[in-house]
Amino acid sequence: MSEPDLAEALAQLVRAAAQAAPAAAPAPRRLLTVEQAADQLAVSRSHVYAMLKDGRLRGVKLGRARRIAQAEIDELIERGGATGWDGRLKAAG
């Protein structure tokens, strides 16, 4: 490819890039309070704190407040829910 051909190809590429639609911004992450997470999961606030402590649910601490990403709640539900139900009944002991 000669130098003028390369320059023209590069100019076409730059024009095409300028006309391309801007990339969509990533969706903002929604952070929930412990109370909001508890409402979505239909459990108590203390149960949400227990799940944060034992690792079933991940969150962030902002000052004294805890926040849980909506995506974490969605993943928890897909994994089997807040109670950890695995489909097996446990014998009374």
| Gap between the Cα atoms of 28 and 36, Å rounded | 18
| Radius of gyration from C-alpha coordinates of the chain | 25
What pLDDT is attached to residue 93? Answer: 44
pLDDT in tens, 14-52: 888 778 767 677 777 899 999 999 999 999 999 999 999
Helix (H) or strand (E) holding 67: strand 65-69
**pLDDT per residue as tens digits for the range 68-78:** 999 999 999 88
If we measure between CA atoms, which residue out of 59, 64, 56, 63 comes closest to residue 30? Answer: 59
Displacement of CA 23 from its chain's centroid (Å): 20
pTM above 0.85, yes or no: no
User: What is the predicted pLDDT for the residue at 84?
Assistant: 53
Q: Is residue 88 pLDDT above 80, yes or no?
A: no
| pLDDT class of 80 with cuts at 50, 70, 90 | confident
Look up residue 70 and give its two tokens. Answer: 């909506």
For residues 85 and 51, the model is more confident at 51
Q: How does DSSP classify residue 60?
A: E
As a whole number of angstroms, the distance between CA 17 and CA 30 comes to 32
pLDDT on residue 44: 95
